[in-house]
Amino acid sequence: MSELDTAIQYLPGVGPKRAELLKKELEVSTFGELLRLYPYRYIDKSSITRICDIRSEDAYIQFKATVQTTELKGNGKRLSAIVSDGSGFTEVVFFKGVKWMNEKLKPGSEWIFFGKPQEYNGSFNFVHPDVDSPDKAVSQGSGRLTGVYPSTERLKNSGVTVKWMNKIMAAALNCCLPEIQESLPDYVLAEKGLVDLRTAIRDIHFPANQDALQKATYRLKFEELFLLQLALLKQKYVRSHGSRGILMSKVGDAFNKCYEALPFPLTGAQKRVIKEIREDMKSGHQMNRLLQGDVGSGKTMVAVLSALIAIGNGYQACIMAPTEVLAQQHFRNISKYLKATDVKVALLTGSSKAAERREIHAGLEDGSIGIIVGTHALLEDNVMFYNLGLAIVDEQHRFGVEQRAKLWQKSRVKLAGDEAGDPLPPHVLVMTATPIPRTLAMTLYGDLDVSVIDEMPPGRKPVQTMHATDAKRLGLNNFIRDQIALGRQIFVVYPLIFESEKMDYKNLEQGFEQIVQAFPFPPYKTAIVHGQQSNDEKNFNMSAFAEGRANILVATSVIEVGVDVPNASVMVIESAERFGLSQLHQLRGRVGRGSEKSYCILMTGPKMSKESRHRIELMCQTENGFILAEEDMKMRGPGDIEGTQQSGLPINLQIASLAQDGILLNNARAYADKVLKADPKLENPDNELLAKELRQNKYREYRDYSKIS
């Protein structure tokens, strides 16, 4: 067995307990996986910071100081030492190894301290800094950049420090460096000016200088993005050139009748996207297209016209939505659009009655139902189609890959003259109202064709977004009363359902009571919707609001997607600092759907972090969902693990960052495209290493990121 595959517990200094912890917290089980855990920043331990120059925004710093006093506190459980370098004083604190450290830090002794400054009672202190004698620190670290690795609170509490991680990384590198095999062909290294993999792995962990670090980082980032794009583009190439699809060569009468009867003109973006879809459907290959469109941009209209192309060629279409509310909304809108045609549309959800289900099942099997709108109920085994030609999946991130795969099994369409062959897969159109930054779309949906509706329909009025704190609560309530008096309706959204001891954000339970007190019945009526209600209760309250029987809807972000109430003109988001940019934007999209002026009011506490304030300011400055999505990705925090690049994203890049490395991603994708154009199946001997890399499990998982069946 290769040293790279050796279990991490056998690395000197690790052992079974820490091995289990490394596996659980960082998904590191072997020597090889450890070497692919890269530092997320570096400290130059050759530099010394003066105490008077320490700033709160500093990360880890190193300073040389003399111990002035030491004191045991909390019944001897905590050691506090005051140290000085002549420019100022600071405190170093220890909760572990207190007795040993107390004997070491004698007043008058000089040490090199290395740690992270924290503000406490108006001054700085350092909790559990590394402590070295000046002579030892110089001999070990002078002139070398020291890597800081991803960590968690559990790891820190178990003694997994920066120093310890560097120690075991050096041990792993010493064992394994000779075994590291190159993963990229010689011609790629030469054409892209990349260092070899052994050099890159060595220098990413222990760079001799900034130049070595830069070359190692570039090599590893390029490799990661290049292999990812190669995997995605190879699938796309095979699909577009090898997969047979249902040929839909004409548009048909239903499409033309619907188009001519539209009460409004399509936008240029809608027309462009329909043309792209039309080209796919008549190509003879299966369509797999992602349709991005901001809230209110007219995706449903594009879906309807695409479905009618399928109908015009003698096939059926299904539109699958993640919630009953959204499915019902689609059904109402589509039924309205189809009045000028004789196409039969039906709705199938979990609430559909047994007799109704039997009738729908029969209509789907004999082909009399042309378009079916539904929820997960469409995936049930007893739902079969006569000839499903187009599957449209709305808000695709809400459906699992296995669920969507079931749609394929429902097609019975055969290629003419090939009755014994497998059924042809339906064309697939996946839609999302969550704007996705281009770099992220290229990665998560790299093997799909992407269409973007980047234009709003005429008459859609901008939503005025404002920020307010509790000090303006009375003014807000008066404003809401004025809007209700004008016949408008109000959303009030909270981040939590029930009160939490750890979080003082406004919660829905308490907020509902306050709203009812401020707006008593009669004359006001307030409905409430949240995720812990039954479907019947949720649908009843949502319907009361949608049909105008309730003036105010108090809800959690369960209403983020799919509620269309044109009469709602005000969205109040409580504890808005609690929400991410994309979520705030989605919630804001619930208003502004009618002809009246609409407002989004972001309520926050008086104190906010710098990041929260920036999010609120951005919301007030722009309604462009794509700009907000780019900013959201850049601002996304590290989550539970310090240093992870892609927190919150359904992909685990080890060193590249989709927020930071957009130019490199474009470069890697273009180069992957060039390689595949010359050798589509990677069969040439020169590409043997690339074919081998793509066969490994870590690249197989990327197939799921297309979010399609």
DSSP state of 340: G
The first and second tokens of residue 662, run together, are 């957009």
Residue-level pLDDT at 401 = 53
Taking 60 as the threshold, does the pLDDT of residue 25 lie above it?
A: yes
Model confidence at 700, pLDDT cuts 50, 70, 90, reads: very low
Residue 341 CA to residue 254 CA, distance in Å, equals: 6
Residue 117 CA to residue 140 CA, distance in Å, equals: 23
Name the residue with tokens 């936008």: 267
Residue-level pLDDT at 676 = 94
Model confidence at 611, pLDDT cuts 50, 70, 90, reads: confident
Average pLDDT over all residues of the chain: 85
Domains recognised in the chain with CATH numbers: 46-142 (2.40.50.140), 213-242+655-706 (no CATH), 253-453 (3.40.50.300), 463-622 (3.40.50.300)
Taking 80 as the threshold, does the pLDDT of residue 670 lie above it?
A: yes
The first and second tokens of residue 155, run together, are 């790891």
Neighbours of 43 (CB within 10 A): 19
Taking 70 as the threshold, does the pLDDT of residue 367 lie above it?
A: yes
Model confidence at 235, pLDDT cuts 50, 70, 90, reads: confident
Instruction: Kindly report whether the peptide bond that precedes residue 12 is cis, defined as omega within 30 degrees of 0.
Output: no
Q: Which amino acid is at 69?
A: T
Residue 176 CA to residue 216 CA, distance in Å, equals: 17
Instruction: Quote the longest CA-to-CA distance of the chain.
Output: 94
| Average pLDDT of the segment spanning 579-586 | 85
Residue 218 CA to residue 210 CA, distance in Å, equals: 12
Residue-level pLDDT at 23 = 92
Neighbours of 551 (CB within 10 A): 22
List, in order, residues 6 or more apart from 675 with CB less than 8 Å away.
Answer: 188, 230, 682, 687, 690
Residue-level pLDDT at 646 = 41
More confident residue, 456 or 169: 169
Residue-level pLDDT at 115 = 86
Name the residue with tokens 């402590």: 131
Residue-level pLDDT at 480 = 96
| Average pLDDT of the segment spanning 427-452 | 77
Percent of the chain with pLDDT over 70: 87
Model confidence at 304, pLDDT cuts 50, 70, 90, reads: very high
Between 337-346, 412-421, 506-515, the lowest mean confidence (pLDDT) is in 412-421
Taking 50 as the threshold, does the pLDDT of residue 122 lie above it?
A: yes
Taking 60 as the threshold, does the pLDDT of residue 208 lie above it?
A: yes
Residue 193 CA to residue 221 CA, distance in Å, equals: 13
More confident residue, 629 or 335: 335
Q: Which amino acid is at 112?
A: I
pLDDT digits (tens, 9 = 90+) for 165-189: 999 999 999 999 999 999 999 999 9
The values of phi and psi at residue 344, to 5°, are -90, 130
Taking 90 as the threshold, does the pLDDT of residue 97 lie above it?
A: no
Pick the closest to residue 290 from 435, 159, 460, 474 (CA basis). 435
Model confidence at 708, pLDDT cuts 50, 70, 90, reads: very low
Between 272-286, 414-428, 490-504, 627-641, the lowest mean confidence (pLDDT) is in 627-641
3 state SS of 203: helix
Residue-level pLDDT at 505 = 64
pLDDT digits (tens, 9 = 90+) for 522-546: 999 999 988 788 878 888 888 899 8
More confident residue, 657 or 701: 657
Taking 80 as the threshold, does the pLDDT of residue 709 lie above it?
A: no
Residue-level pLDDT at 496 = 73
Residue-level pLDDT at 3 = 86
Residue 18 CA to residue 16 CA, distance in Å, equals: 6
3 state SS of 595: coil
Neighbours of 481 (CB within 10 A): 15
Taking 70 as the threshold, does the pLDDT of residue 501 lie above it?
A: no
Residue 130 CA to residue 14 CA, distance in Å, equals: 19
Residue 36 CA to residue 655 CA, distance in Å, equals: 9
Name the residue with tokens 């109920």: 377
Model confidence at 702, pLDDT cuts 50, 70, 90, reads: very low
Answer for the pair 378, 682: CB distance below 8 angstroms, yes or no.
no
pLDDT digits (tens, 9 = 90+) for 33-85: 999 999 988 887 777 889 999 887 777 788 999 999 999 988 888 999 999 99
Residue 9 CA to residue 438 CA, distance in Å, equals: 41
Residue 536 CA to residue 310 CA, distance in Å, equals: 34
pTM over 0.75: no
Residue 326 CA to residue 477 CA, distance in Å, equals: 30
Taking 70 as the threshold, does the pLDDT of residue 560 lie above it?
A: no
Residue 95 CA to residue 91 CA, distance in Å, equals: 13
